[in-house]
Amino acid sequence: MIIEPRMRGFICLTSHPKGCEQNVKNQIKYVKSKGHIEGAKKVLVIGASTGFGLASRITSAFGSDAATIGIFFEKPPVEGRPGSPGWYNSAAFENEAHKAGLYAKSINGDAFSNEVKRQTLDLIKADLGQIDLIIYSLASPVRVHPVTGVLHRSVLKPIGTTYTNKTVDFHTGIVSEISIEPCQGDDIANTVAVMGGEDWAMWIDALKAENLLAKGATTVAYSYIGPSLTEAVYRKGTIGRAKDHLEATAFAITDSLKSIEGKAFVSVNKALVTQASSAIPVIPLYISLLYKIMKAEGIHEGCIEQIQRLYQDRLFTGKPIPTDDKGRIRIDDWEMRDDVQEKIATLWKQATTESLPEIGDLEGYRKDFLNLFGFEFEGVDYRADAEEMVSVSSIV
Ligand code: NAI
Ligand code: NA
């Protein structure tokens, strides 16, 4: 079967197994090129199949020779329909890890559920004993609460007033004005329930209760801040409330881990093209200007460069982990540099359908988006029959 990108709105319905494999191999190669990191050896990654979580798993395994357990929610391929990119990424990761002699197993299911937590605890008990690093990198639009059974849906909306700004449709390149109505009713509470810190704390409580955390265990969750341009819809919007909650949860978890000298951190990462961020209005325009400027300055990073730097320059230096005045690790430091943000503010005013191809990196955006699904990688023959990828026994 020849697999091509099939777009519907902001999503791509198909994904390419060979391209996803190439993506994973490229990331492994990058991590290896940066040398050994004296990091954690037994690592649990929750949200391990794409984006920052996949990059974290790869950095642990191929930067520190760590044994990894990955949790994710992906679709395996079935007759006539390709699997989701995260499934192919994980299959490719496990194959590469096993070839390198590294322990790697995965659980494909709902991380919010008691069942998947139970399965994970049993797997750790059976295979690894104790964990010393837990990366929490879930991005989900929904969560079924494991205690109440209520289905919460997160929304990406401003709070209080309508937000109006420019945005771009990165498929067509058309820049237009968009208005987003403020959230209503339980939107904030629902968004906090899905993307806040409650589930993170539940994971850590469950691991601690069964003595599966090593002394000095560290856990890290990912957050975002961004510029004032996007504040109303991001950091001061519904999703921002969830991130506030996530960040506050880090302190609560650190308190709960006193007896084992464990610590919880939030790392604030750079804005990048992922399935989640493409769906937020305004953000794609911001990212296309950001990419252009950061590439020109030689400071552009993707997920793997971000996470490799997080590990090497922040988490595992042998010194105390540097944080901002709110206790957060900042790996968005280059994105937030004054000179970068000043340039974006200027270009933002100039951005039109006509000017954007010149002043922004729409092409880079589009390529990164297709890369998420395994398309447009060098070294992959997309005209060849895409091999059926069979099931991988270490993914249950
Ligand atoms: P992503 O969509 O690439 O990855 C999400 C992961 O969560 C995948 O592995 C997916 O399988 C898993 N997942 C989703 N629902 C699940 C469920 N119910 N059970 C088990 N696994 C589930 O997202 P991305 O962008 O890597 O986001 C990860 C974190 O990084 C999020 O907290 C996000 O807010 C944060 N972040 C993202 C930025 C961006 O620009 N993309 C910037 C800074 C932070
Ligand atoms: Na992730």
Give residue-wise pLDDT tens across range 129-177. Answer: 999 999 999 999 999 999 999 999 999 999 999 999 999 998 899 999 9
Task: Decide if 296 contacts 288 (C-beta within 8 A).
Answer: no
Residue ranges of alpha helices (H) inside 169-265 are 187-195, 198-209, 228-231, 238-256
pLDDT at 393: 77
Backbone torsions φ then ψ of 137, nearest 5 degrees: -135, 45
Helix (H, G, I), strand (E, B), or coil: what is residue 368? helix
- For 60, 178, 195, the CA distances from 192, given in Å and listed in that order, are 29, 25, 5
pLDDT at 388: 65
What atom in ligand 1 is closest to the CA of residue 246?
A: 32
Spell out, as residue ranges, where the chain has pLDDT lower than 70: 388-391
Nearest CA to ligand 1 atom 14: 140
What atom in ligand 1 is closest to the CA of residue 143?
A: 18
Residues with beta carbon inside 6 Å of ligand 1?
47-53, 71-74, 86, 110-112, 137-140, 222-224, 269, 271-272, 274-277
CATH class of the 7-152+187-276+302-332 domain in this structure: alpha beta
Nearest CA to ligand 1 atom 12: 47
Helix (H, G, I), strand (E, B), or coil: what is residue 195? helix
Rounded to the nearest whole angstrom, what is the distance from the C-alpha of residue 256 to the centroid of ligand 1? Answer: 25
From 224, 270, 304, give the residue whose CB has the most ligand 1 atoms within 8 Å, as the site to mutate. Answer: 224
Establish whether 74 is an annotated binding residue. yes
- The one-letter code for the residue type at 41 is K
What atom in ligand 1 is closest to the CA of residue 277?
A: 41
The H or E element containing residue 330 is strand 329-330
Rounded to the nearest whole angstrom, what is the distance from the C-alpha of residue 135 to the centroid of ligand 2? Answer: 9
Establish whether 369 is an annotated binding residue. no
Rounded distance between C-alpha atoms, residue 171 and residue 103, angstroms: 40
pLDDT at 207: 98
Rounded distance between C-alpha atoms, residue 361 and residue 198, angstroms: 37
Establish whether 73 is an annotated binding residue. yes
Nearest CA to ligand 1 atom 5: 139
Which residues lie across from 167 on neighbouring strands?
176
Nearest ligand to the C-alpha of residue 85? 1
From 54, 88, 137, give the residue whose CB has the most ligand 1 atoms within 8 Å, as the site to mutate. Answer: 137
pLDDT digits (tens, 9 = 90+) for 33-57: 999 999 999 999 999 999 999 999 9
Pick from 206, 31, 79, 80: which is nearest to 136 by CA? 206
Q: What is the ipTM of this complex?
A: 0.98
Rounded distance between C-alpha atoms, residue 196 and residue 13, angstroms: 28
pTM exceeding the 0.95 threshold for the entire prediction: yes
Rounded distance between C-alpha atoms, residue 45 and residue 106, angstroms: 9
pLDDT at 389: 65
The H or E element containing residue 69 is strand 67-72
Pick from 298, 287, 301, 299: which is nearest to 360 by CA? 287
Residue 234 annotated to the active site = yes
**Angle 303-310/17-33 helices, nearest 10 degrees?**
30
Check 30, 136, 163, 234 and give the catalytic one.
234
Rounded to the nearest whole angstrom, what is the distance from the C-alpha of residue 48 to the centroid of ligand 1? Answer: 8
From 20, 199, 219, 222, give the residue whose CB has the most ligand 1 atoms within 8 Å, as the site to mutate. Answer: 222
Establish whether 185 is an annotated binding residue. no
What atom in ligand 1 is closest to the CA of residue 269?
A: 43
Domains of the chain, residue spans: 7-152+187-276+302-332
Nearest CA to ligand 1 atom 31: 139
Rounded distance between C-alpha atoms, residue 90 and residue 104, angstroms: 10
Neighbours of 162 (CB within 10 A): 11
Output the six-digit token pair for 223: 């957050």
Establish whether 247 is an annotated binding residue. no
Establish whether 224 is an annotated binding residue. yes
